Amino acid sequence: GQNIDQPTEMTATEGAIVQINCTYQTSGFNGLFWYQQHAGEAPTFLSYNVLDGLEEKGRFSSFLSRSKGYSYLLLKELQMKDSASYLCAVSDSNYQLIWGAGTKLIIKP
């Protein structure tokens, strides 16, 4: 079967760094997406990885290891507005997205 695993909830302090992990087992792989979802709102696209390595976008970076079926989202210089759920999704062999349940990130002052 297809499976995406992420921690249910994480807590971090404002100004700190947090890493959200995602492991996957899917039928085929055509890229991995990270989305941010604030409470009561729709998900918004953060990053896309299809090759191994690190992609950096400002305070956010995303890493992929295809051989390990593993990705992480790294958030630096945390701000209160980063409190949200972070969704990991993998594009499978049919280019359909398989979604993780999301990681709720709580930022404390």
Where along the sequence are the contacts to other proteins (CB under 8 A)? 30-31, 33, 40-45, 48, 50, 87, 89, 91, 95-97, 99-102
CB 94, min distance to other proteins, A = 9
CB 100, min distance to other proteins, A = 6
Distances (CA, A) of 53 to 30, 50, 101: 15, 9, 24
Cα–chain-centroid distance for residue 34? 4
CB 14, min distance to other proteins, A = 24
Q: For 80-106, what is the HEC assignment?
A: HHHCEEEEEEEECCCCCEEECCCEEEE
Assess contact for 4 and 22: CB atoms under 8 A.
yes
Cβ-based nearer residue to other proteins, 84 or 89: 89
Cβ-based nearer residue to other proteins, 41 or 77: 41
